[in-house]
C-alpha cells in the first residue's frame, strides 16, 4: 500500500509491484472447530478436570476468541489490498 500511495502507479516497475503485492495479498484464514470444548463448557464437564488443565483450557479459549476477532478485523484489510493490487494491474494493462 505504501508503494502505491507514495508514487504514481504508472512509474512503479511491474515486477516490483507484483513482488510486494504477493505478500500484501496473502490471506490465511483461521479455522478451528471448538464444538467439543463448547459441549464440555455447556455440560459443566470442565469442573471435573484438574485445576491446571481447566486453567489451560480457559487460556486456550481466550486465545481462540482473540484469533477469531483478529480474523474478522484483518479480512477486510486483505480484501482491500487485493482490490488495490488488481486495480493497479488493470491500470497498467489499459495504458
Asked if 67 contacts 32 with a C-beta cutoff of 8 angstroms, the reply is yes
pLDDT in the model for residue 16: 75
Asked if 23 contacts 16 with a C-beta cutoff of 8 angstroms, the reply is no
CA distance 79 to 95: 25
pLDDT in tens, 50-94: 999 989 988 988 998 898 888 888 888 777 877 877 776 666 555
Amino acid at each position: 500500500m505504501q508503494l502505491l500511495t507514495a508514487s504514481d502507479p504508472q512509474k512503479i516497475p511491474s515486477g516490483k509491484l507484483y513482488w510486494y503485492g504477493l505478500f500484501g495479498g496473502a490471506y490465511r484464514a483461521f479455522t478451528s472447530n471448538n464444538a467439543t470444548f463448547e459441549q464440555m463448557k455447556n455440560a459443566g464437564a470442565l469442573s471435573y478436570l484438574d485445576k491446571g488443565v481447566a486453567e489451560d483450557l480457559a487460556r486456550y479459549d481466550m486465545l481462540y476468541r482473540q484469533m477469531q476477532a483478529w480474523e474478522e478485523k484483518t479480512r477486510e484489510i486483505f480484501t482491500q489490498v487485493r482490490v488495490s493490487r488488481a486495480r493497479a494491474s488493470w491500470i497498467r494493462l489499459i495504458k
